């Protein structure tokens, strides 16, 4: 099987990820932050270490300001609904995932004003357009770091500067970049960073996180048991307890920590280079397949390892089905939970096929897939020029 769906969830995971999970579930087991016996102490140490690893990765001064969540969607709901109030204005892009657009759509019905800055047909946004969208009541810019459809890397540094200049918050969705691109929350002036644990950070599903810069007035969305500060009727103000209610996914966090350690050991640059070599190989090969059209930047420096394309004569779902059934290639055909992005590209009706590569993919797999696509292109059904007689 060729797995080209790592933008949904990365696979395979490094062996140490499930080894850490196995150790946790078999030998630790306890709920971190609860009780004081040695099992919980070990669980606490593991959770704290994972927080520290992530803090170093993102250059976050105080690792307690990282909260573990269910997934990046959970993080984004907290970021968006916790921050914006009726009467606030928010600027976002036309390339966002539903995990941004849907919470904003909900808030719009409560009186939050939303401006979606239109991107071009390759998914690029104009920094000037973003700045021009800012109004006196603008509270935040909420934007992805890279499109999950075209792989286009957004100008995070410039957006961070605009946010600083206008004294507004910058919420960045790192769903496609955490673990592959350098993210320095201080340099990028990020107020709130949301990330999944199970994509390029190589942790298991059921993990995600959010960094909340000190002073960002985020309401809690999930209140409950916090292990410490239990006596108050409200959430404790202390971090991470304030936003981290209920039993943590300890086994998942153990795996996430191991994933981040793998990243550090191998080196993010090496991983990024491998992914972009695969991406370039695919882009070069795809350019020579007649009737195959790739969306997003041609220059691999401007994108992550996510490539979406269409093929003449086929619906995206037909190509996806043939890749799966005839070639055992796992990819994703459809809207990729980002209908706005597809509207921007003009592919909302037709939809696209998406390949996403990981460090574990091989050049031979790319060649195999290119060959499959060549065969599919060659066996294209003839266009119907006359209707059959009934």
In the bound state with a copy of itself, the residue whose beta carbon lies nearer, of 66 and 162, is 66
Cα-only R_g, the chain: 22
Contact between 156 and 188 under an 8 Å Cβ cutoff? The reply is yes
* Interface of this chain with a copy of itself, residues 128 to 187, rule: CB under 8 A: none
Please identify, among the stretches 86-94, 176-184, 307-315, 319-327, the one whose residues bind a copy of itself according to the rule CB under 8 A. 319-327
Cβ of residue 157: shortest distance to a copy of itself, in angstroms? 26
Total chain residues near a copy of itself (CB under 8 A): 89
Q: Does 11 bind a copy of itself (CB under 8 A)?
A: yes
Nearer to a copy of itself, 17 or 53 (CB): 17
Least spacing, CB of residue 96 vs a copy of itself, in Å: 11
Query: Under the criterion CB under 8 A, does residue 331 sit at the interface with a copy of itself?
Result: yes
Q: Stretches 1-9, 56-64, 184-192, 275-283: which one binds a copy of itself (CB under 8 A)? A: 1-9
93 contributes a contact to a copy of itself by CB under 8 A: no
303 lies in the binding site for a copy of itself (CB under 8 A): no
Residue 45 interacts with a copy of itself (CB under 8 A)? no
Which of 50, 99, 189, 200: binder of a copy of itself (CB under 8 A)? 99
Minimum Å distance from CB 316 to a copy of itself?
11
The residues, any chain, with a CB within 8 Å of residue 303's CB and separated by 6 or more, are 146, 150, 151, 152, 153, 279, 296, 297
By CB under 8 A, residue 20 contacts a copy of itself: no
Of the candidate spans 158-166, 184-192, 317-325, 381-389, the one that interacts with a copy of itself by CB under 8 A turns out to be: 317-325
362 binds a copy of itself, rule: CB under 8 A: no
Q: How far is the CB of 105 from a copy of itself (least distance, A)?
A: 5
Q: Which stretch binds a copy of itself (CB under 8 A): 230-238, 275-283, 307-315, 361-369?
A: 230-238
Nearer to a copy of itself, 12 or 61 (CB): 12
Q: How far apart are CA 232 and CA 331, in angstroms?
A: 49
Does position 8 interact with a copy of itself (CB under 8 A)? The reply is yes
**The binder of a copy of itself chosen from 82, 123, 151, 252 (CB under 8 A):** 252
* Dihedral class, residue 271 (left if φ above 0, else alpha if ψ from -120 to 50, else beta): alpha
Q: What is the C-alpha to C-alpha distance for residues 225 and 248, in angstroms, rounded to an integer? A: 11
Residue list 47-76, contact with a copy of itself (CB under 8 A):
69-74, 76
Helix axes 268-287, 250-266, angle to 10 degrees: 80
- Shortest gap between Cβ of 271 and a copy of itself (angstroms)? 18
37 touches a copy of itself (CB under 8 A): yes
Q: Indicate whether 222 belongs to the interface with a copy of itself (CB under 8 A).
A: yes
Task: Identify which of residues 36 and 136 has a Cβ nearer to a copy of itself in the complex.
Answer: 36
Pick one of 318, 348, 368, 377: the residue that binds a copy of itself (CB under 8 A).
348
Which string of b and e fits 210-222 if b means at least 16 CB within 10 Å?
A: bbbbeebebeeee
Main-chain phi, psi angles of 295, to 5 degrees: -105, 155
| Count of other CB atoms within 10 angstroms of residue 167 | 8
**Part in contact with a copy of itself (CB under 8 A); list of ranges 53-61, 86-94, 233-241, 367-375:** 233-241
Q: Is 250 in the site for a copy of itself (CB under 8 A)?
A: yes
The one among 51, 65, 139, 198 contacting a copy of itself by CB under 8 A: 198
Q: Is 259 in the site for a copy of itself (CB under 8 A)?
A: no
- DSSP β-ladder status, 332-334 and 352-356: antiparallel
């Amino acid at each position: 099987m060729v797995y080209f769906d790592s933008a949904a969830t990365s696979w395979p995971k490094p062996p140490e990820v499930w080894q850490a999970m196995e150790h946790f579930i078999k030998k630790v087991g306890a709920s971190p932050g609860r009780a004081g016996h040695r099992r919980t102490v070990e669980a606490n140490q593991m959770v704290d270490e994972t927080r520290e690893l992530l803090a170093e990765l993102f250059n976050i001064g105080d690792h307690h300001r990282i909260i573990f969540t269910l997934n990046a969607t959970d993080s984004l709901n907290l970021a968006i609904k916790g921050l914006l109030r009726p009467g606030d204005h928010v600027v976002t892009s036309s390339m966002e995932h539903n995990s941004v657009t849907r919470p904003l759509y909900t808030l719009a019905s409560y009186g939050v004003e939303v401006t979606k800055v239109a991107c071009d047909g390759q998914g690029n946004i104009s920094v000037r357009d973003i700045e021009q969208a800012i109004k006196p009541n603008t509270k935040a810019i909420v934007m992805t770091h890279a499109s999950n459809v075209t792989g286009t890397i957004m100008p995070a540094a410039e957006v961070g500067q605009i946010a600083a200049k206008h004294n507004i918050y910058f919420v960045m969705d790192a769903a496609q970049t955490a673990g592959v691109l350098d993210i320095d929350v201080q340099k990028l002036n990020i107020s709130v960073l949301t990330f999944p644990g199970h994509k390029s950070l190589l942790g298991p599903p059921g993990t995600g996180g959010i960094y909340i810069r000190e002073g960002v007035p985020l309401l809690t969305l999930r209140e409950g048991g916090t292990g410490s500060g239990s006596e108050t009727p409200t959430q404790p103000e202390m971090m991470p307890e304030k936003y981290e209610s209920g039993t943590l996914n300890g086994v998942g966090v153990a795996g996430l920590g191991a994933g981040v350690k793998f990243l550090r050991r191998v080196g993010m640059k090496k991983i990024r280079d491998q992914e972009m070599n695969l991406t370039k190989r695919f882009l070069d090969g795809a350019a020579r397949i007649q009737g195959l059209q790739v969306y997003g930047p041609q220059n691999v420096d401007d994108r992550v390892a996510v490539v979406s394309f269409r093929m003449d004569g086929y619906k995206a779902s037909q190509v996806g089905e043939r890749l799966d059934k005839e070639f055992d290639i796992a990819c994703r055909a459809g809207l990729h939970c980002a209908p706005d992005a597809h509207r921007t590209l003009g592919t909302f009706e037709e939809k696209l096929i998406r390949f996403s590569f990981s460090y574990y993919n091989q050049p031979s797999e790319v060649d195999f897939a290119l060959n499959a696509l060549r065969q599919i292109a060659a066996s294209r059904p003839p266009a119907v020029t006359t209707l059959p007689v009934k």
